[in-house]
C-alpha cells in the first residue's frame, strides 16, 4: 500500500494568487482509519469579501484575453493533472475514502474535462441570424458574467469542481470556490496546478470553511452573480430561495433515487454486474448511485440469488489497498443516516437479505464501514424506496410489467439517473423516452456519466441547469444580442420593413 504524503500539515486559503493562513482550523479525517490528514481553515465571511475584491479586478483583465488563449491555461492544467494523476488519486482516497481505482477514474474525469473545455475556447459558439432590415447584421454571443461562486461536495471533490470551474474560467469569469470541508485536499492541489499553469492571480480563489459561514457569505454577496451548487437538497433549496430573491443565477444538483430496471428478457449476469457497480461502488455515495432495483417478478428470485453470490465476494476496507472493492463511509453522520434507514426499512416490512450492519472497530480499525446491504420485497412508496440514503443499500421492488416498472421509476421526487436491462429494442426506445430522469442508461448501471454530455436531472434533483457538457457554459454566460446596422441611415425595426 503506497501512501503519498501531503506537503503541508495545514491548508491555507488561496486568494489573489497567494496562500492566506486562517487562524481557525478543523482536522480532515481519513474515513478509512480515523487519522488526521491535514488541518483545513474555517474561514470567516471576511475572506469571501477579500476573494471577491481580487476576483473583480482579475476578471476584467481575464475577460479581455481571447478565449483560445484562456483555453491554453486549461490545456496546461490538464497536462499537470495527467502528470500527477497517481499522487492526486492517492490523496483523494485518503481524504474521501473511495477505492483507489475509482479515485483514478475521478481524477481522469477532471483531466478529460480540462481538455474538453480547453477545446471550447476555440468554439464558445454563438449564432448568426438574419436581420429583418437591409444592410443589418444580427448575432447572439456568449458574454462572461463576472465573478461566479461554486460550492462543491465531498463525494466527487475534484471531478465536480472541474465540471464547474473549467467552463466558468474558459468563458472569461473569475471564480470563488468553496470546497467541502471534509475533502479540501483536491482543492489545494488544483489551486497549485492552476497557479503553475499560469492562470492569472485572482481568477480562481479558494475559500475553505463551513457552508453556514463561507457558503452563506457567497450566496449573499452582491458581486457574486452566479452560484453553482452540488450537495444536499435542503441546502440547495435554501440557496435557490436566496438567489431567487436577489435575481442571482443559480445552478443546483441535489441527488437522486436512481433505479435499475431488470426486465424478464434481461441478461441477468450483466444486470448483476451493473447493479453491484452502481449500488456498492463508492460505497453508494454517488448522486447517481443505484438504490432501487425494479425487477420483473418472473426473474426476481434468480436475480436475488445471483446478487447474493456476487455480494459475498465484495471486499471491504481501506481503498488504498488495490484488492478492496468497497471503501468507508465519509463520516459518522453518514454512517448514522444509513443505520437509521436500515431500521426504517425493517419497520416498513422490507425483507433484509444481506448486510444491514456496521463493520466494527475490531474488523476495520477506526474507520466507518457499512456492509453492502440488500433489501427485497420493498414497495414503491416505502421510505427506503423514496429517500436518498447515500450508502451501500439497495432495495428490490418487484413489478408485473414494463409499464409498471416505468411508473415506479418515475414515482419519486428525484430525477437524476435511471437504467434498464432488456433485450427488446422497442422497450429500449420507449424507456429512453418515458424514464423521467436527466440521464438514462440501457444495459448498464446508473453511474458512469461522461464529461462531454450534460449532467443533471429533472424534478427535485435540480433546477434545470446542467453541469459538464457544453451545456455547462449556459450558467456561466449571458446571451448578448448584437445588431450591426451598416446602412448608414436610421432603420427602425418592425416599422421600416418595406
Ligand atoms: C455524483 O455522484 O455527484 O456518473 C457525480 C457518475 C460520475 C459522477 C457522479 N461520473 O457516476
Comma-separated ranges of CATH 3.40.309.10 domains in the chain: 259-442
Cβ–ligand 1 distance for 461 under 6 Å, the answer no
Cβ–ligand 1 distance for 448 under 6 Å, the answer yes
Q: What is the pLDDT of residue 1?
A: 53
Q: What is the pLDDT of residue 55?
A: 99
Find the 93 Cα to ligand 1 centroid distance in Å: 16
Task: Report yes or no: 353 and 312 within 8 Å, Cβ to Cβ.
Answer: no
Q: What is the pLDDT of residue 362?
A: 75
Query: Domain 259-442 falls in which CATH fold?
Result: Aldehyde Dehydrogenase; Chain A, domain 2 (3.40.309)
Find the 286 Cα to ligand 1 centroid distance in Å: 6
Cβ–ligand 1 distance for 286 under 6 Å, the answer yes
Q: How confident is the model at residue 211 (pLDDT cuts 50, 70, 90)?
A: very high
The residue written with cell numbers 482579475 in the block is 58
Q: What is the pLDDT of residue 363?
A: 75
Q: What is the pLDDT of residues 228-265, one digit of tens each?
A: 999 999 999 999 999 999 999 999 999 999 999 999 99
Q: What is the pLDDT of residues 39-62, one digit of tens each?
A: 999 999 999 999 999 999 999 999
Q: What is the pLDDT of residue 368?
A: 96
What percent of the chain has pLDDT above 70?
A: 99
Find the 16 Cα to ligand 1 centroid distance in Å: 31
Ligand 1 atom with least separation from CA of 287: 2
For this structure, is 253 an active site residue?
yes
Find the 419 Cα to ligand 1 centroid distance in Å: 14
Q: What is the mean pLDDT of residues 303-330?
A: 97
Residue of 390, 447, 448 best suited for mutating to test ligand 1, as the one with most atoms within 8 Å of CB: 447
Domain 13-254+476-481 has CATH 3.40.605.10: yes
For residue 2, is pLDDT > 80? no
Cβ–ligand 1 distance for 288 under 6 Å, the answer yes
Cβ–ligand 1 distance for 449 under 6 Å, the answer yes
Q: What is the pLDDT of residues 391-428, one digit of tens each?
A: 999 999 999 999 999 999 999 999 999 999 999 999 99
Q: What is the mean pLDDT of residues 165-182?
A: 98
Question: Distance from CA of residue 492 to its chain's centroid?
Answer: 48
Mean pLDDT in the chain? 97
Residue of 101, 287, 417, 437 best suited for mutating to test ligand 1, as the one with most atoms within 8 Å of CB: 287
Q: What is the pLDDT of residue 292?
A: 98
Comma-separated ranges of CATH 3.40.605.10 domains in the chain: 13-254+476-481
User: Phi, psi (5° rounding) for residue 10?
Assistant: -140, 120
Catalytically annotated residue among 39, 95, 253, 358: 253
Cβ–ligand 1 distance for 156 under 6 Å, the answer yes
Q: What is the pLDDT of residues 282-304, one digit of tens each?
A: 999 999 999 999 999 999 999 99
Ligand 1 atom with least separation from CA of 109: 10
Predicted TM-score (pTM) above 0.90: yes
Q: What is the pLDDT of residue 267?
A: 98
- Kindly provide the ipTM of the predicted complex, given to two decimals: 0.97
Cβ–ligand 1 distance for 152 under 6 Å, the answer no
Amino acid at each position: 500500500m503506497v501512501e503519498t504524503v501531503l506537503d503541508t500539515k495545514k491548508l491555507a486559503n488561496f486568494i489573489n494568487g497567494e496562500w492566506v493562513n486562517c487562524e481557525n482550523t478543523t482536522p480532515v479525517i481519513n474515513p478509512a482509519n480515523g487519522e488526521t490528514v491535514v488541518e483545513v481553515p474555517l474561514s470567516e465571511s471576511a475572506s469571501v469579501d477579500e476573494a471577491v475584491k481580487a476576483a473583480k479586478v482579475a476578471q476584467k483583465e481575464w475577460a479581455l484575453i481571447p478565449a483560445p488563449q484562456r483555453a491554453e491555461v486549461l490545456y496546461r492544467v490538464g497536462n499537470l493533472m495527467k502528470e500527477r494523476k497517481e499522487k492526486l488519486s492517492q490523496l483523494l482516497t485518503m481524504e474521501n475514502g473511495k477505492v483507489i481505482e475509482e479515485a483514478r477514474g475521478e481524477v481522469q474525469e477532471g483531466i478529460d474535462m480540462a481538455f474538453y473545455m480547453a477545446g471550447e475556447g476555440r468554439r464558445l459558439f454563438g449564432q448568426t441570424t438574419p436581420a429583418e432590415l437591409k444592410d443589418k447584421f444580427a448575432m447572439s454571443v456568449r458574454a462572461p458574467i463576472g465573478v461566479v461562486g461554486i460550492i462543491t461536495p465531498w463525494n466527487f471533490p475534484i471531478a465536480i469542481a472541474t465540471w464547474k470551474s473549467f467552463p466558468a474560467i474558459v468563458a472569461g469569469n473569475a471564480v470563488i470556490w468553496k470546497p467541502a470541508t471534509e475533502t479540501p485536499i483536491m482543492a489545494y492541489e488544483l489551486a497549485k496546478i492552476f497557479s503553475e499553469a499560469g492562470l492569472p492571480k485572482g481568477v480562481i480563489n479558494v475559500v475553505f470553511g463551513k457552508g453556514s459561514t463561507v457558503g452563506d457569505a457567497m450566496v449573499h454577496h452582491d458581486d457574486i452573480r452566479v452560484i453553482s451548487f452540488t450537495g444536499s437538497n435542503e441546502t440547495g433549496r435554501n440557496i435557490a430561495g436566496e438567489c431567487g430573491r436577489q435575481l442571482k443565477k443559480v445552478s443546483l444538483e441535489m441527488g437522486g433515487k436512481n433505479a435499475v430496471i431488470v426486465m424478464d428478457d434481461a441478461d441477468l449476469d450483466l444486470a448483476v454486474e451493473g447493479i453491484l457497480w452502481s449500488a456498492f461502488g463508492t460505497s453508494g455515495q454517488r448522486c447517481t448511485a443505484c438504490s432501487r432495483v425494479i425487477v420483473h417478478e418472473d426473474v426476481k428470485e434468480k436475480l436475488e440469488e445471483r446478487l447474493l453470490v456476487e455480494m459475498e465476494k465484495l471486499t471491504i476496507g481501506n481503498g488504498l489497498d488495490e484488492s478492496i472493492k468497497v471503501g468507508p463511509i465519509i463520516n459518522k453522520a453518514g454512517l448514522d443516516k444509513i443505520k437509521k434507514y436500515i431500521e426504517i426499512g425493517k419497520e416498513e416490512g422490507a425483507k433484509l437479505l444481506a448486510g444491514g450492519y456496521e463493520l466494527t472497530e475490531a474488523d476495520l480499525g477506526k474507520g466507518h464501514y457499512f456492509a453492502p446491504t440488500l433489501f427485497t420485497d420493498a414497495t414503491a412508496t416505502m421510505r427506503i424506496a423514496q429517500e436518498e440514503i447515500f450508502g451501500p443499500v439497495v432495495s428490490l421492488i418487484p413489478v408485473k410489467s414494463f409499464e409498471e416498472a416505468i411508473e415506479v421509476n418515475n414515482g419519486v421526487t428525484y430525477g437524476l439517473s435511471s437504467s434498464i436491462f432488456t433485450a427488446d429494442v422497442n422497450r429500449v426506445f420507449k424507456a429512453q423516452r418515458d424514464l423521467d430522469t436527466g440521464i438514462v442508461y440501457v444495459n448498464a448501471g446508473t453511474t458512469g456519466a461522461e464529461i462531454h454530455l450534460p449532467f443533471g436531472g429533472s424534478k427535485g434533483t435540480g433546477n434545470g441547469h446542467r453541469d459538464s457538457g457544453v451545456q455547462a457554459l449556459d450558467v456561466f454566460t449571458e446571451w448578448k444580442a448584437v445588431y450591426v446596422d451598416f446602412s448608414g441611415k436610421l432603420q427602425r425595426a418592425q416599422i421600416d420593413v418595406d
